[in-house]
Every structure is written in C-alpha cells, then in structure tokens.
Structure 1
Amino acid sequence: MSPTRQDAWSQDEDLLLAEVVLRHIREGGTQLQAFEEVGKQLSRTSAACGFRWNSFVRKQYKSGIDLAKKQRKEMKKQTIPQEMDSSQVEASEETSSAVSAKSEGVTFQAVLHYLENLHKQATAASSIEEAKEKSIQKLKDLEKKSYLLAAENERLIKNLKAIEEDYRSLIEIMERARKMVVLQEEDRQQKVKFQMDKNGNLERVVK
C-alpha cells in the first residue's frame, strides 16, 4: 500500500481531477465518488481531492460544470421513456380498460374510480420526487461538511506541527540554560579554596 501523499499538486493532477469530476457529474454520479477515484489514482485522500477541487480547480472549470450538468439532464430525458415503472404500467392498463369499457357503456362510478387512481399516482410520484430532492440536498450538505472538516483537519495539523517545533525550541533553550548553570557552579567551586591560618583554623581563599 503506497503512502498518502501530501506534496503540492501538479498541473496534470489538477487536469485529471477535473476530468473525473466532470465525468461523474455528466453520468449522474456524486463528487464524493469522483474524489475517491482520483485519490486512488494519485495516492491521496478523497478529502484532499475534495479540498483541492473546491479551493482551486472548480473555479477554472465553471463552463465545463454547466455543460456536464446540461448533458446529464439530456441523458435523463432519453432514458425516462424506456424505463416505465409499475405505476405507469397500471395507469396504461387502467386507460385501456376505460377505453374498452366505452363499448359496454361507461358508468359514473368507473370514471370516478379511474380519476381517483390517477390522483393517487400523481400524489405518490410527487412524494417520491420530493424525497429524492431532499436526499440530494442532504448528500450535498454532507459533502460540504466533509470538505470543511478536511480543511479544518489540515489547519489543525499545521498548528500542531508549529506547536511541536516551539516545544522543541523551548526544550533546547532550557537545556542550554541548565548546562550554563552547571558550568557556572563548577567554575565557582573551582575558584574557592581553603587554607589554615596561624591559629590552626581553616579559612576560605578566593582566587
């Protein structure tokens, strides 16, 4: 497993990051998935890729982002007619039944029942769309929080390194001061000597 890189980004790495993110936007993926993909290729964390994208690269590709979003909408429009869900199938069957019933005579109750079913389907579709929008917004909020936390983490790491350097400098200063005190004490002791006076008493002689 290669170590996580923390060196400066090159122009080629910025280009790779932009290409992958725009592809995910165009294909309906999330930016978080794009950052994970780029991180694996460059041996960087997905958070570092997200921070690089939001702080620098994204500003260089505003028109590309708009184009990718437009292409994503066009792709969705093309796939919707091919993907009829069960509710649409039921609605189609209801319509066929209502049309075939004309030959037998349509009753007021049958029409009312048909309209009630259409109303239920429309309400269900509206609820699903609303839930989808909420989920997308929640995902965006989580991605934004992830980028902010990554930036805060990098700031704290820098602060920690600065504190560690200050601590080491303080220890070195204290060690030098201790050595100076020891040397001064040894020097003072070497200067003090004793000799005996004429009365036989020891007296201190300072050089």
Structure 2
Amino acid sequence: MRQDAWTTEDDSALAEVVLKHIRDGSTQLAGFNEASRRLGRTAAACGFRWNACVRKQYRKQIELAKEDRKEKKSQKIQAQLEGGDYDHPTATLMSWAQVLRFLRQEKNTAQQWASRWRAAQRESNEWKSKYDHLNRESSQMREELQRLRKDYETMAADHRALVDIVERARKAAFLDGDDMSAGFIYRIDEYGNLERVNPDEPHQQAE
C-alpha cells in the first residue's frame, strides 16, 4: 500500500468535516480546506477524493445535511422576523408593542430616505440651473467675441487703407521732386485716386 493512500478512517474524517460544513450553510471548498489541515493533505487532494469516491458513499447523509441546513436557515429567518435571536436560548415571539415599534422604525427609515431623495433632487435642480446660467453666459461671450473680431477686422482694414494712402502720397511727392517738409496737399477723388491740390487754390477739406 502506498504511504499516501486513503484509508477508511481518512474517508470518514473527510466526510465528517464536509457534512458539517454543508449543515452549517458553508461551502464544500471550506470543508476541503479544514479537512486538509486535519488529514495533512492538500485541499485539492481532499476535493478530488471527495468527488471521486466519498461523495458516492455518503449520498444519503448529504441529503440529510442539506435538509438540516434548510431547516436551520428557515428557523433563523423566522427568529429574525420575530425580533429574536435564533442562537439565543431565550428567543421569543415579538409582542404587539415590538411589532408597532418595528413598523415605526421602518416608517422613519422610509421618511429619511424620502427626505434624502428630495434633497438630492433639489441639489440636482440647483446644479442644472447653474449649468444653464453658465451656458447662457458662454453663448453671450461667444457672440461678444465674434463682434469684437469683426470690429478688429474692420479697424485693421481701415488701418491698411490709411497706410496705403500715406504710402501713395509719399511716392507721388517723391516722383514730383517735392520736398516732404515743404508741405503739399492731396485729396482722394470719388474713385479712390490721389489728386494733387495747389495750396494757393481754395479747396474743400473732406470730412
């Protein structure tokens, strides 16, 4: 026989531990972990042995353990509904005063949640109002920016036109051989052309 072979006592110990976990509402994996510490084997080896051999031999005990688990769970739920503690030996049914107190507590809890919900709604409406206000301000600022850009483009065009007029006047004076410091008068006709005006002649100053 191999030294690590499973004996009847090992199978019984494994079954005892796993059935206890089933009755207590725990998992088989937790049972394998406990059995591994008890038998000096790995949890994987215990799980393999259980599924391969032991479980088939303890089918009836497994069903009984599951029934015990259901009964314990039902009793615990019933004790909780009655206001008692299932694990406490003096657990009793709730009195009408306890029932009334329980219902009042539930009502207060519901009112608290309703109050929190209303507060959350008010806060949400406030944030929505702030968002709408900021959105309107942003739209106004965009419109103002567009207007300023148009004004800037108009002023830039006027500045370029003025610089062009001055440059044309300077070139015309240079071509005529006049001294810039001597003074001269030019005017722009209706077609945008420069026209030399004799300073001695009367002229109308354009506005």
Normalised by the length of structure 2, the TM-score is 0.39
Normalised by the length of structure 1, the TM-score is 0.39
Higher RCO by CA contacts (8 Å cutoff, separation 6 or greater): 1
Structure richer in helix, relative to its length: 1
Bigger-Rg structure (1/2): 2
